[in-house]
Chain A
Amino acid sequence: MRSRTSSVYSTLDSLMTPDVTFSELAQSDGDVSEATRTFQMDEDAFRRFYDGTARSLWAYLWRTTGDARLADDLLQEVYYRFLRSAAPPTDEKHRRNYLFRIATNLVRDARRRRAFDALDERAAVDATEVPSGEDLAARSARKIDIGRAMARLSVRERGLLWLAYANGCSHQEIAAALGLKPSSIKMLLFRARRRLAALLARGRR
């Protein structure tokens, strides 16, 4: 398990664009406001946007990668790329789709570089704290069921289902976020749904 985890993060390093080293951080500890001029958004607007999207985006990253640490790293990377993008959409809804599009591409890149081959089913249910207490037992069991079932789906299927039913996105929004044709979403979603239902039913047996 440990070796798998270390290999995940070594490949993650290669996935990310070179990050800041400690010495560079020390040098740049002063005024960085100059650098923010290249951003297409001011800090207050970013804060509002971030507060409205970060948790939902983290949940999406966590459910599509099945790795909480990878989700943490990807979250930073997604917002960094969003801020550095040349012309992000101005409309709030499109901005959100654009953010999920960046996230989807990063998850796909991580998968291509084998940062995660397949979701570890145990990791997919363990990374967040499962609440204790008898009254929460059913909720915990259901969460574990979803974690295990989602772990067996493909990245695209996870993304489709999550965006459609957890985030409540329309077919157009899903197509924009996943880079698919809007006309194919209905069919893909139907198949993914059927697969998830079958996996959940199998898990309950």
Chain B
Amino acid sequence: MIRECLHEREVVGAATSGDWPCRVEPALRAHVAACNSCSALVELATMLRDDHDALCREARVPPAAHVWRRAAIRTRVEAQRAAAQPIIVTERFAAACATGILFAAFSWVSPARVWAALATQAATRFAENCSDLTIASSAALKPALPLVIGLTACALFVPVALHFLLWDD
């Protein structure tokens, strides 16, 4: 249970405003002298107020212009960072695409070659048997088609991806 003296607010007001002890009513001074709670409060408040004043005098704060300019620069840099964010995301996406295509192309190379060789043999036999060269050539090229697409995509995307990846300002 808090037992607050009726004059407490008045006393705190006087102590924190710097009016204590010279510019207060004699009645209040008399009360503080008689009241333990208020005298302890005045002592504490005066002590903290004096400490505050001393710290304010000794504080070495930067000038307002410096704080303002620093805040402005930081705002601008953050805006630039925010604006660059989609570009960074695109760059990373392009790099990921290029890597994926590269892997896909490499994974196609060896089986495709095998398929191409097999298909050529089959086509030759087919041509020998059927003497239909058009059908034979299309049958030979069909398995090699993904390889061609993969390599073309690589040739297109890798330089673009490398450009974005290595490009700096």
Contact = CB atoms under 8 A, between A and B. Distances in A.
Q: How large is the interface on B (under 10, 10 to 19, 20 to 34, 35 or more residues)?
A: 35 or more
B77 interface: yes
A43 B58 contact: no
A35 B55 contact: no
B61 A54 contact: yes
B71 A186 contact: no
A162 interface: yes
Contacts of A18: 78, 81
A58 B61 contact: yes
Q: Is the contact region of chain B dominated by helix, strand, or loop, or is it mixed?
A: helix
Nearest to A190: B2
Given A166-B51, A168-B17, A50 B67 contact: yes
A183 interface: no
Interface of B: 2, 4, 12-13, 15-17, 40-41, 44-45, 47-52, 54-56, 58-59, 61-62, 64-65, 67-81
Interface of A: 17-20, 24-25, 28, 32-36, 38-39, 43, 46-47, 50-51, 54-56, 58-59, 62-63, 75-76, 79-80, 83-84, 128-129, 139, 142-143, 146, 161-162, 164-168, 186-187, 190, 193, 196-197, 200
The 3 closest A-B pairs by CB, nearest first: A168-B16, A166-B52, A59-B55
